A and B are shown apart, each in its own frame.
Chain A
Amino acid sequence: MIGIENLTVRFGPTTVLHGVSFEVANGESFALVGESGSGKSTILKALAGQVEDWSGRMTLDGTAMKRGDAPHARQVQMVFQDPYGSLHPRRSVDDTLAEPLAIHGIKGRDARVLAMLDAVGLPRRFRFRLPHQLSGGQRQRVAIARALMLEPPVLLLDEPTSALDVSVQAEILNLLKGLRQEKHLTYLLVTHDLPVVSFLCDRLAILRQGRIEEQAPVAALRLGQLTSAYGQELYRRSTEG
């Protein structure tokens, strides 16, 4: 579903990604793991068409992306880290969810908004509330609902639970796992939290300073059998704190 080949990204004089390659199969959940500055979020940005200066090859569902080209909103959507920053403060849940429908001229607005509220586990009475009337977990549900309104096959998830309380994190992780099974979605997840990867993903790539150190199936992570020295170091830090 997602193919990245030899992707190099520069911001001015600095190269932040050095020839990164990986593939994500249809329906797979793939994690990009690394510290701040490792380039993991930059890969998501590049896929979302928000990076100007890139070279290499990126394909989405078999179609190659051109430079300066954003993927179609119906193909890829993104969920961000902070649900306090990613929702318009003066727009109700209904406005937020209906906007993509209006832009793309999709009919049946009422039914679709209600169906999506049900799908992400938000009570229907929340439909006309504003973001400040919602808790962090409820806001993240709205952000996920918005991303799914156009029924894209691919979701890019940038630390979707790291701003949430642990008990709320569990709710959102369960939701993401359930939605993926139901709607047969492909996930590309960025996180620094290895246990989250273990719960939600099939495979992972470990990034360091713009390079992939290793790719591994999640079983290797669970057993602590990452092969690279850096992977082992991350594992140790995660288990020891």
Chain B
Amino acid sequence: MSLLSVENLRVAFPSDHGPVEVVKGLSFDLGRERLGIVGESGSGKSMTGRAVMGLIGKPARVTADRLEFEGQDLRALSERQFRRLRGARMSMVLQDPKFSLNPVIRIGEQIAEALEFHTGLTARQRRVKVLEALEAVRIDDPERVARLFPHEVSGGMGQRVMIAMMVVMEPALMIADEPTSALDVSVRGQVLDIMDDLVRRRGMGLMLISHDLNMVARWCDRILVMYQGRIVEELGAGQLGAAQHPYTRGLLASVPRIDEDRDRLPVLDRAALGACQ
């Protein structure tokens, strides 16, 4: 049985000219694997992640023929039931630790918050768990870091804290929305390594949402390429070179290479892409 099963997912926002669909009938299954979702801004990739987490509120409308997580129908859940799920069984890592950590709460307390909400552990047990979670994301002196405020740590460390917060409950599904875009290239590798390790050791399912085609291709088992709310192509790891869809090929061609000798970079011909949709 797959961890997450999505069929014909649609997200629509109302506008003056009737509803506008930003996700247009998406279907995919996720097992205990690393699934990459790639696309540009506005392709609907983040909305897909949010829809699964039940984080899209009114006035948007989320519909699906099937939206199942661990055999549970997510469409039927009340907000209260969803809260029990979020942070415990499924969780989300966002792009920028600067904006997603609470600036006035110490790191250790922020991580413990999920434990306080979802479990009946005592303060002492929670503290042990927090230090374990920090260790799991390769923070060397968890005792010290737990006492710090978010502004006292670097971007890479902040992102590891975010991941610690997500894994402290050992969720079955982690949705990472551009987890490394705000980080330096050097720290990027470390953060991806940590997530990779968690997927392997704890058998988590990972949905990695990113605009970086090459990065996703290196780190995921499977890639879905999204364009204007639809999946235009599905690729296995390492099959990026075999991409068929003109959008995927256009994206790949427009990335400069380190041995660049082209005088101009090819640019996506959006009019032609619109025609082949």
Is B one of A's binding partners? yes
Please give the residue numbers on chain A whose beta carbons come within 8 Å of chain B beta carbons, in ascending order.
35-36, 136, 165-171, 173-174, 177, 192-196, 198-199, 221-224, 234-235, 237-239, 241
Q: Which residue of B lies closest to A223 (CB)?
A: B259
Q: Contact check, A166 vs B213: say whether CB atoms are below 8 A apart.
A: yes
Given contacts A136-B41, A199-B260, A237-B189, contact A169 B184 (CB under 8 A): no
Q: Which residue of A lies closest to B259 (CB)?
A: A222
Given contacts A165-B41, A177-B264, A199-B265, contact A241 B218 (CB under 8 A): yes
Main secondary structure of the interface of B (DSSP, over half): loop
- Chosen A-B contacts, 19 in total, with CB atoms closer than 8 Å, are A36-B155, A165-B40, A166-B213, A166-B251, A170-B254, A170-B255, A170-B256, A170-B265, A170-B266, A173-B265, A192-B184, A193-B185, A195-B256, A195-B258, A198-B257, A199-B260, A224-B259, A234-B185, A241-B218
Q: Contact check, A196 vs B256: say whether CB atoms are below 8 A apart.
A: yes
- Cβ distance A198 to chain B, nearest Cβ, rounded Å: 4
Q: Contact check, A241 vs B214: say whether CB atoms are below 8 A apart.
A: yes
CA distance A166 to B215 in the complex (A): 13
Q: Contact check, A222 vs B189: say whether CB atoms are below 8 A apart.
A: no
Q: Contact check, B267 vs A167: say whether CB atoms are below 8 A apart.
A: yes
Residues of B contacting A170 in the complex (Cβ-Cβ under 8 angstroms): 254-256, 265-267
CA distance A166 to B254 in the complex (A): 7
- Indicate the member of B250, B254, B258 with the most A CB atoms within 10 Å: B258
Residues of B255-277 at the interface with A, using a CB-CB cut-off of 8 Å, are 255-268
CA distance A105 to B258 in the complex (A): 44
CA distance A182 to B229 in the complex (A): 39
Q: Contact check, A198 vs B260: say whether CB atoms are below 8 A apart.
A: yes
Q: Contact check, B258 vs A235: say whether CB atoms are below 8 A apart.
A: yes
- Cβ distance A178 to chain B, nearest Cβ, rounded Å: 8
CA distance A224 to B260 in the complex (A): 12
Nearest first, the 8 A-B pairs at minimum CB distance are: A170-B254, A170-B265, A195-B256, A198-B260, A199-B256, A165-B40, A222-B259, A167-B268
